[in-house]
Structure 1
Amino acid sequence: MDYADDSLGNGAYAGLPIVHVPEGEEPRELPAPEAAAWRIGVDRNGGGKSFEELFLSFVGTVDTTKVTTLIIGDWGNAYERDSSEVVRLLTEHAERLPALRMLYLGEISREEAEISWIQQSDVTPLLTAFPLLERLEVRGGSGLELSPVRHEHLRDLTVESGGLPARVVRGVAESTFPALEHLELWLGVDEYGGDATLADMAGILSGERLPALRHLGLQNSEIQDEIAAAVASAPVVARLESLALSMGSLGDEGAEALLSGQPLTHLKHLDLCHHYLTDPMVARVEEAFAGSGVEVDLSEQEEPEDEWRYVAVSE
C-alpha cells in the first residue's frame, strides 16, 4: 500500500466530491457550496495563479458562508515555502467561512513534494479561528507547530508525517478536546524530525483530556515496540473501539507486551499492518483474538533488512 498517496484517490473527501476552485477564466456551473469538498492548489507545472490569487478567487466566486469542507493542496513550492500564508489567509477570512467543519491542510502528492519535504507552520491559529471545526487533517511535519489549546467541537485530528516533532505531539497531548473521537498521528523517524518519546505522549495515553476518544492511532514509528508496551497499560485504551499501531517497526517484543497487558478484546479493530512479527508470533496473536470478535489486521509482514526495520512512510 502506498500510504503517502492514498488519501483522495477516489475523487472524494469526507463523502463529498472534490471540486477545484474556479480560476475565473471560463464560466462554469458550480455545485452548491455545501455539496462539495473545495480544493485550492496551485498548478504544479508553475502556470496559472498564485495560491493567494486562487484563494481570493474562491471567496469572490463561491458563497463561502455555506462551504463546509476545504482541501488545501500545494501552496506553491511547498518543499521550500511553508504554509504560513495559507494559515494567514484562512484566519483572516474566517468570518467568511462560518460553516467550515472539515479542513485538510497539505493534500500534496509525492510528485509535488515528498511528505517529509512539505514545509508546514503553526496551525494553532486555525483551531482558534474556527471554533466549530470538526475535522482537521495535516500532511507534513517539517516546521509544524501546535500549541496546547482547548477546542470544544473537534472530532477528528490526523497528522500524517515522516517525522513528527516532539513539540507537536506534546501540543496534542496537552490540549483539551472534549469531542475528539479520532486521533491519528504518524510519528515517523528521527532522521526526518520524528523525535517524540513516550513522555511526550503521556497526555494522550492517559486520555484525561480526551473523554470521547474512540480511535487512537500512534503509527509509523521507529519506536513502535515501546509504544505498544506503553499502550498495553494505558488508561485511554479501555474506552477505545479501535487501535492502530500500524506502519511502524513493531516486532515480537511489542506484540508480546500487547498480549501480556490489559485485555483488548473490547476492541472492534486492531490494526498492526506493516509489522516485523515472526511467524510464531503472528500465530500467537491470531490465536489470542480468535473468536473474540476483534478484527486484527496483520497484513504486510515485513522482513528486516540487515537487522534494520523500516517504517512505511519516512521521506
Structure 2
Amino acid sequence: MTIGSHLEELYGLPAFTFPGRDESTKLPEPDAVAWWIAARTYDAEEGWAETFDRFCAEVDTTRVRALIVGLWEDAYDSGPTEVIEALVAARDRLPALRAVFLGDIVGEECEISWINQTDVTPLLAGFPALEELGVRGGQDLAFPAVRHDALRKLVVETGGLPAEVVRGVAASELPALEHLDLWLGTSWYGADSEVTDLEPILSGARLPRLRHLALRNSEIQDEIAAAVASAPVVARLEVLDLSMGTLGDDGATALLGGQPLTHLKKLDLHHNYLSEPLRQRVRETLDPAGVEVDLDQDDADWDEDDDGTVHRYVSVGE
C-alpha cells in the first residue's frame, strides 16, 4: 500500500492549500486552517522557499497555528534542510505556531521510502511552544535526543525507520507527550531497530503523560507485541496501536497472556495475520470490557514459497 492522499487536517484544523502565484483564491482567516505549502511539482517555477516567502507576505503569520509542508522541489535527492531553516528563520513571525507536519508527500509525488529527510529537531529547538510534530520519510532522517516541554504529539511515518532515530526518540525528555506514533517499517527500506531500542519508551519513565502509543507498520510486530505485554507504560494508556505490521498468532498470544488490557479505550490491530481462533480470543477478552478493537485484515498481504515458507508484509513499505 502507498499513501495516496494528502492530509485533510492538522491540529484539529482543516488543511487549506496556499494558492499558487497565479491563482485567485480567497484566503481564510489565518488561525482557522492548517496551511498546506508545497512546490507542487519538481519543475515548478516557484520553489518551496519562494512560496513560503509569498505566504509570509500575504498572510498574517502571527495568527497561524498549523503548517503542513508538502513537496519540496528535490525530495528524491535531498532533504528539507532549507525548508527547516526558512521556518526557523521566521519563528518570530510565527508566535502562535503549534503544529508542523514535514513531508506531506503522496506516492505519485515520491514514494515514502524515497523521501529524503534530515535532522528535524531544529524545529523543536526553534519552536519551544510547538505541540505537534509530524514527519514522513525515513531516508537520512535524524532525531538526536532532545528535551522539549510542550510537545504533545509526535508522529514519524516511514517504510523503514533507522534505529538511531528510534533511540533518539526513546532517549528524549518529552514530559508533555501524550501521543507517540512510530511507523517502524521493514529492513528492505532501512529499518534496523530491535525491540531493545524501544525499552525506554515501553518503560514510560520519560513519558509521564503518554496516553496513545502506536508502534506499528513493523516486520517485528510479534516481538513488539511480546515486549508490550509486560511494558509498564501500558497501564496508563488509553490507546494501544500495533497495526499495519506482520502481527501473527505468536504476538497476539503473548499480548493476551500479559498484563490486562481491559482498561484501554481502543486496541488497534488492523492489518494483521491472526487466525480466526486468535481473533475470537481477542474479542472474547476485550469486548466485555467495552474496549474498541480493530481486527481488520482487508489489506494484509502475503505470499508463499514453494517450500511452504510464508512471507508477510507491512502495510506501507516503499
Structure-1-length-normalised TM-score: 0.95
State the AA in 2 paired with 1:304: W
For the 8 Å contact 1:23–1:57, the answer to whether it is kept is no
State the AA in 2 paired with 1:309: R
1:183: which partner in 2?
A: 180
CA distance in 1 between partners of 2:49 and 2:119 (Å) = 18
For the 8 Å contact 2:42–2:73, the answer to whether it is kept is no
Q: Number of residues paired by the alignment?
A: 312
Question: Is 1:310–2:307 an aligned residue pair?
Answer: no
RMSD of aligned alpha carbons: 1.5
Question: Is 1:273–2:279 an aligned residue pair?
Answer: no
**Alpha-carbon distance, 1:24 to partner:** 4.1
For the 8 Å contact 1:141–1:161, the answer to whether it is kept is yes
CA distance in 1 between partners of 2:293 and 2:24 (Å) = 50
1:132-187 C-alpha deviation (Å, 9 max, x unpaired): 00111111111100011111111110011000111111111001111111100000
CA distance in 1 between partners of 2:134 and 2:105 (Å) = 12
For the 8 Å contact 2:63–2:96, the answer to whether it is kept is yes
For the 8 Å contact 1:22–1:58, the answer to whether it is kept is no
Counterparts in 2 of 1:43-58, with a 5 A limit? 43-44=40-41, 46-58=43-55
**Alpha-carbon distance, 1:14 to partner:** 3.4
Structure 1 residues 28, 289: CA separation in 2 closer, same or farther (over 3 Å shift)? closer
**Alpha-carbon distance, 1:240 to partner:** 0.1
**Alpha-carbon distance, 1:7 to partner:** 5.3
1:67-126 C-alpha deviation (Å, 9 max, x unpaired): 101000001131112111111111111111111001010000111000001000000100
| 2:105 aligned to which of 105, 108, 131 | 108
| 2:84 aligned to which of 79, 84, 87 | 87
CA distance in 2 between partners of 1:290 and 1:75 (Å) = 45
Aligned-residue identity in percent: 55
Question: Is 1:146–2:143 an aligned residue pair?
Answer: yes
CA distance in 2 between partners of 1:173 and 1:12 (Å) = 27
2:307: which partner in 1?
A: none
Q: Which runs of 5+ in 2 are unaligned?
A: 305-309
2:4: which partner in 1?
A: 5
CA distance in 1 between partners of 2:2 and 2:241 (Å) = 14
1:223: which partner in 2?
A: 220
Structure 1 residues 292, 240: CA separation in 2 closer, same or farther (over 3 Å shift)? same
CA distance in 2 between partners of 1:7 and 1:183 (Å) = 21
CA distance in 2 between partners of 1:7 and 1:269 (Å) = 25
CA distance in 2 between partners of 1:219 and 1:212 (Å) = 20
For the 8 Å contact 1:22–1:57, the answer to whether it is kept is no
For the 8 Å contact 2:15–2:33, the answer to whether it is kept is yes
CA distance in 1 between partners of 2:50 and 2:37 (Å) = 10
